[in-house]
Amino acid sequence: MTKRQQPASARVLNDIPRGFWDAAIDVARTIFVPGNRFGVHAFTIGPRIRNGRRRKAMALNVYVKRKLYEPRWPVPNLTFAVGRTSWQIVPNVIATGKRPRAATGGAPHYTGLHPGAVMTVRGSTPGRGAITCLLTTGGDPTHALTAGHVFPAGALGASIFAAASPTARVRAVGKVVANFLDDSAADGALVELNKAGVALVTSVGPALSDFLPERSVWGKLTRAFLATTNDFTREVATEGQPGEAHLWSPTRGVFTVHKVIQTDGEVTFEGDSGTVLCSGATNAIAVGLCSGGTGAHSVFEPFSRIINLAQQRVPGNLAIF
């Protein structure tokens, strides 16, 4: 049972122990829904941040665009029960300075097909994103992964477009055969490549060979390969625990991602949706698939979650190319 108001017997938690994290996130999920009146667009359990400095205590960090001295709807304290005891947490409010976002339009800089390559979509809400990685069932690449929110709901069969260079002919290189944001609440999509797509495959970007299981993606040193720069970001640590965020894209409006990876600081830009977060000495280990950014963090779906869903849709042994 959860309540928003604090019972007289509720005990205040200044440092949330590991065993209470799931209960705290569950009650936050019921209060900070998309479009909530408090202006909270993301939340996670993490080190308490005060005056820009991290503390040792673990808090429920909630993110708003701007802090107000006298908000009309102050962020409320949250109360939840663990066993017979009621506990109260005081959310730690952090301002990001901008709204969360996922995708964008603009002029693409094509570089063929590879992890982190620019790809575009057409339709009533055209835009661009990135290839996460190429997949194969043996031999040549057969499929690619990207972000699900780049496409409108129900867009199975929609084409993606790419080119060998910014001045080369743009052509359809594949079609969407599964969008996990539609049916599995995971922000990923599976694209089946056509002959033109296979012909555009290059060796640019990280040479991925494996991926981390979801249990191992927290608290890792990582780098993203960005479609917007055609280069790696600075090294950045992932947070030690999953978070949730309400993001926005022109194709979807507001959508929510659950139990996602958040980096310590935002390293991606508008147009990097779908790009790969990787780790390892040679950046060969896939960690995540970019969903967007909140201003405080870049947000990634765990790669293992998305490729596992893809493997359920394709006969044979679908693996990283």
pLDDT tens-place string over residues 116-169: 999 999 877 777 899 999 999 988 999 999 999 999 999 999 999 999 998 999
Could you tell me the CA-to-CA distances from 27 to 20, 32, 87, 120, 270 in Å, in that order?
A: 11, 9, 11, 38, 31
- The predicted model scores a pTM of 0.83
Q: Tens digit of pLDDT for each residue in 20-76?
A: 998 999 999 999 999 999 999 999 898 887 777 778 889 999 999 888 878 899 999
How far is the C-alpha of 62 from the C-alpha of 93, rounded, in Å?
5
Handedness of CA 160, 161, 164, 165 (dihedral sign): negative
3-class secondary-structure state, position 126: coil
Spatial contact of 273 and 249, defined as CB atoms under 8 Å apart: yes
Residue range 170-201, pLDDT digits in tens: 999 999 999 999 999 999 999 999 999 999 99
Residue 239: pLDDT band (50, 70, 90) is very high
- Could you tell me which of 199, 193, 201 has the C-alpha nearest to residue 177? 193
Sequence ranges of the domains in the chain: 2-95, 98-321
pLDDT at 2 over 50: no
Question: CA end-to-end span of the chain, whole Å?
Answer: 47
Alpha-carbon 240 to chain mean position = 15
Residue 207 DSSP one-character state: -
The CATH-assigned architecture of domain 98-321 is: Beta Barrel (2.40)
